[in-house]
Amino acid sequence: MNHDRIDSVATALAGIGYDGIVAFDRAEPEFGTIEKLFEEFDSDDYVQLLVVLATTQDYQLNGDAQRFWNEFEQTALTYDTLTSKQTVREILGDFMDADVNARLNQQKRDRLLCLFESDFDEWFLDNHQQATPEVVWKELADGLNTDMTAKTVALSMKVYDNAHLIQHGEYREFPPDIPIPCDLQVKRVSRTSGVTTDDDTERVLQVWNEVMDATSEQLGRHVSIFRIDSIVWQAGQIIGEHEPDARAARNALVEHFEDVGLANNEASPLARELTAEM
């Protein structure tokens, strides 16, 4: 863990402001799909259930996350209504036939069956509005026979959080010590930013929590690790396309950050800090 690098990355993040940080959620692959589903289906609870369950299958893709959510949207929009848990199950069953889910397809089908047999969908529809996000998180993990730190469970809760933002203009109240989906992109940016060279998942998560705390302190308000994850994940995709060319990666990062809505004097320092050890 490199505390100097943690402080430098946190300073760059704080430099884009809270609104700048939140803007990255709107650039996440699932965000436009969730917006579209809310527009098409007048059934908020069912849309939230559908996207949470779909996210549990967002792994080992035959393509990338953008393709995953595009194909999921296309599948869902072949249905005229979404007013029952049976329809949710049918959409997900059809989605399992999509090319993007070709890898480990039977495993993915088995995971969905596990969730259905646990009646998580029925529990969610009956309880999620009054349950705390932590309780929903635990119920989802239990339905998959895994723990709350599992990557796709954490990612599903991030999507659940973003769905609430889309519908209500604010995030859910998650506790500060939640895990982020620690994948290749997060570990890549951990290395290129210099915050840690350790590839251990637990250590990587610990380091990004340090970044979150330092960013929150500088901004004077809590910034969820989910928000940090959106920035890191998007940066990791771009850096991965350009490694080991640091200059090309920085230029591409700045271009993406400006597309998200940052000014150049905010985008450039952030791009520089996220590639400082590249």
CATH number of the domain that 256 lies in?
Answer: 1.10.1670.10
CA distance 270 to 275: 9
Residue at a domain's end among 140, 168, 196: 168
| Token pair for 220 | 């004077």
pLDDT band per the 50, 70, 90 thresholds, residue 177? confident
Report pLDDT for 76. 98
Q: Which of 85-89, 205-209, 264-268 has the lowest mean pLDDT?
A: 205-209
Q: Give per-residue pLDDT as tens, 30-74.
A: 999 999 999 999 899 999 999 999 999 999 999 899 999 999 999
CA distance 101 to 201: 25
Q: Percentages helix, strand, coil for the chain, rounded to the nearest 5?
A: 70, 0, 30
DSSP 98-156: SGGG-TTHHHHHHHHHHHHHTTHHHHHHHHTTTS-HHHHHHHHHHHTTS-TT-HHHHHH
Q: Does 182 lie in the same domain as 76?
A: no
Q: Does 41 lie in the same domain as 124?
A: yes
Q: Does 68 lie in the same domain as 102?
A: yes
Report pLDDT for 180. 75
CA distance 167 to 158: 14
182: pLDDT strictly greater than 80: no
Report pLDDT for 183. 78
Report pLDDT for 37. 98
Residue at a domain's end among 99, 134, 168: 168
Instruction: Look at the block and give the residue holding tokens 């509005």.
Output: 129
| Token pair for 114 | 């596990």
Report pLDDT for 199. 87
Residue at a domain's end among 118, 142, 168: 168
| Token pair for 135 | 């309780």
Q: Does 228 lie in the same domain as 199?
A: yes
Q: Give per-residue pLDDT as tens, 117-132.
A: 999 999 999 999 999 9
Q: Does 191 lie in the same domain as 208?
A: yes
Report pLDDT for 229. 93
Q: Does 189 lie in the same domain as 148?
A: no
Q: Does 115 lie in the same domain as 233?
A: no
202: pLDDT strictly greater than 90: no
Report pLDDT for 246. 95
Identify the CATH number of the domain in which residue 64 sits.
Answer: 1.10.340.30
Q: Give per-residue pLDDT as tens, 218-270.
A: 999 999 999 999 999 999 999 999 999 999 999 999 999 999 999 999 999 99
Cβ(48)–Cβ(252) below 8 Å: no
DSSP 13-70: HHHTHHHHHHHTGGGSTTHHHHHHHHHH-S-HHHHHHHHHHHHTT-SS-SS-HHHHHH
Q: Does 73 lie in the same domain as 155?
A: yes
Report pLDDT for 201. 85
Cβ(162)–Cβ(28) below 8 Å: yes
Q: Does 120 lie in the same domain as 46?
A: yes
Q: Give per-residue pLDDT as tens, 139-168.
A: 999 999 999 989 999 999 999 999 999 999
Which residue range is the domain that position 93 belongs to? Answer: 29-168
Q: What is the dihedral of CA 41, 46, 50, 56, to 10 degrees?
A: 150
Torsion over CA: 7, 13, 14, 15 (sign): positive
Query: How many domains does the structure of the chain reveal?
Result: 2
